Amino acid sequence: MKIDIVPDAGYCYGVARAVKLAGDAAPCYTLGPLIHNRRAVAELEKAGVRVIQSLNELRKGGMLVIRSHGAPPELYSELEQSGIAYIDATCPDVKRIHKHVAADSEEGRLILIFGDPEHPEVTATAAWCRRCFVFSNLDELKELFVQRRINPLEPVTMTAQTTSESGVYEKCGDFLKKECTNGKILDTICRTTVLRQLKTTELSRRVDVMVVVGDRASANTRKLAAVCECPVLLTEGKEGLAIPKGVGRIGITAGASTPSAIIEEVVKQMSEEMNLSAAEPTFEEMIDSTLRPLHTGEKITGIITGISPNEIQVDLGSKHAAYIPLNELTDDPAADPTTLVKIGDEIETYIMRVNDVEGTAMLSKRRLDTVKSWEDVESAQESRAVLEGIVVEENKGGVVVSVKGVRVFVPASQTGLPREEPMSNLLKQKVRLRVTEFHRSKRRVVGSIRSVSQEDRRAQAEAVWDNVEIGKRYNGVVKSLTAYGVFVDIGGVDGLVHLSELSWQRVKAPSDLVKVGDPLDVTVIGVDKERHRISLSHRKQEDNPWVKFVDTYKPGDVVKVKVNKLMPFGAFAEVMPGVDGLIHISQLTDRRIGKPSDAVNEGDEMDVKITDIDLIRHKISLSARALMETEPEDQIDTGPDEIVAIANGEESPQVSSDFADETDEEPKEETEEE
């Protein structure tokens, strides 16, 4: 025969704290039983802790102890107004729940409470909410949605009674995430409760019978019985406890409201009945092994029992609720703790602060890592290795980067930012740097982001030159603007997009389309590796307006055009966006004119006939005169010799051979890489 006991069975910290506060304050009063254990309440009453049902029963000058389950805000107000002295023995975990739900209620969130609706902890929590629903299982939660009592679009916060079964609460949380667009799930089940349930379940798999010691009115005790995976004997003490014959191994656990004295009695009686070996550890030894003392500055190892967005909970084998804030777990404020650790992991930490009043211990993993980090940073300085860190601070001279907990100062000149760009843009960014100075005695480290970025750029540039070819496309970034085009970074190398290659339509200035820092898709149209020049184009062939024009029009078609530029020899008119044609001065009207402005003005719209399309040189000839009812064309005096030459298919020396591109812009240039 063998007895196994869940190591931390019995009072949790919140209950133990409430019992001690009440015992120290006796004679005193409690509104309702301090804890859910009739025998313990009876023992307290003998010590002077009297249970009352209303404040009217409180004798003048008496001290009230608010029990560990907490109380509604109205009670605090009444006590203050009446001048009644009181001690708040509310469990620290329950106190945090009240703060959370009160704050979320103020923000207009609906509160959902998972737990026993009759339990004093649940009723107290509900009193801190403006609007809430209480449910005790997943089916009841689903029914709230079926009855449309919850709007899936409204903000919802879900919390749990501290003694709830964690597995069921997780299922409810998964359901809420699917149903609500703005749901928040608070991790409020007591860490001691969760760990005890896990250990109870684990032990129940290895024994023949589990003995659960505790008051049947205790929700915590009932939950422990429910998670066992073997036959269960529920007992409030040694009286009436009968172990079936033939049982080879027995497990013992106890609820959070069960005094150690009762557990000890049960263990002692079972040991005597079964005549166990004297070599078995005593109950006192088992209990003492769980009461691990904690000291600030101590290095300690624990087991992760819970993870939330802002902290992780750790079991240290003590009565304190230990936790690691996110900023003491990692340097990255945007990190997801679930990707760094998982429940059940063993973690070595440093105790930063022990609060015996609240029953908490704040831990830090980052502090422990700092010593090793200094060694790693020093080694990186000697080997010129590249390190990663988060920019955590800006000052007049530069920025501070946290590298594995070590503060590295980066001068402004070494940040790699242009002078006009504020260094605040680097805050909370992950950067790569190289340590340039290291002084352990002065605890001063200097680094350079710029040296790493320059090396990266050179490596990228080499890769670009090795692979660049005409027709290759890149996702670039605009680096600078000039009068004749745009320089685009295609990965360590800057190429030029000439003004004419920015768009198929006319562009007066690059700033009309892009600005520095804009992403820009470009295609390589020219490469000169000897002179390190790359010509790029942002124009896509499928958007070519000339192709659309040829597919749409043919010589002889009549179109409405807009005059956009007057020249001595005629007028350029837009046939469609990006496509211009020339109306020669002789084709503007059916009469002789001295200059184009005698017939039209810029901005005029007019109907013209397409008289010729040059598919090779992309030229379009237009005529307004062809639409005018006049004498036959062969009898009209065409004017000067140069016009006759055009009619015969010859080019006039006064007319540009590429009039569709006639502009006052700079010619295309290729500029060396900046």
What residues are labeled active site? 121
Q: What are phi and psi of 395, to 5 degrees?
A: -140, -175
Per DSSP, what are the bridge partners of residue 342? none
Extract the tokens encoding 556.
């002889």
**Which amino acid does the sequence have at 267?**
V
Distances (CA, A) of 140 to 115, 116, 131, 143, 175: 11, 12, 17, 5, 12
Rounded Cα gap, residues 574 and 572, in angstroms: 7
The token pair at 510 is 């690059």
Q: How far apart are alpha carbons 530 and 311 in whole angstroms?
A: 58
Query: How many angstroms separate the CA atoms of 593 and 600, rounded?
Result: 11
Residue 468 token pair = 């660049």
* Strand-pair partners of 448: 434
Q: Cβ–Cβ contacts within 10 Å for residue 87, how many?
A: 16
Residues 6+ apart with CB under 8 A from 81: none
Q: Is the peptide bond before 422 cis (omega within 30 degrees of 0)?
A: no
Which of 317, 308, 332, 326 minimizes the C-alpha distance to 365? 326
Which structure tokens are listed for 358?
A: 């609240």
Rg value, the chain, Cα? 42
Q: How many CA atoms lie within 13 Å of 390's alpha carbon, on the beta-carbon side?
A: 11
Q: Are 426 and 417 in contact (CB under 8 A)?
A: yes
Measured at the CA of 105, the angle between CA 102 and CA 106, to 5 degrees, comes to: 90
Q: Going by C-beta distance under 8 Å and a sequence separation of 6 or more, which residues neighbour residue 575? A: 549, 553, 559, 561, 581, 610, 620, 622
Please identify which residue in the block is written with the tokens 């010589």: 555
Could you tell me the two tokens for 448? Answer: 């350079």
Q: How far apart are CA 106 and CA 565, in angstroms?
A: 66
Q: Which residue has the tokens 């080879």?
A: 248
What is the torsional sign of CA 568, 569, 570, 576?
negative
Q: Which of 241, 190, 240, 260 is nearest to 220 (CA)?
A: 190
Q: Taking the C-alpha atoms of 270, 273, 277 and 279 in order, what is their torsion angle to the nearest 10 degrees?
A: 30
Nearest C-alpha neighbor of 117 from the set 129, 126, 104, 130? 126
The DSSP call for residue 316 is -
Name the pairing type of β-strands 249-254 and 2-5. parallel
Reduced to 3 states (helix: H, G, I; strand: E, B; else coil), residue 457 is helix
Work out the angle between the directed axes of helices 166-179 and 191-204 (0-180°, nearest 10): 120
Q: Residue 30 is inside which H or E element, if any?
A: strand 28-31
> How many angstroms separate the CA atoms of 108 and 305, rounded?
31
Tell me whether strands 430-439 and 406-411 are parallel, antiparallel or unpaired.
unpaired
Q: Which of 576, 551, 552, 549 is nearest to 562 (CA)?
A: 576
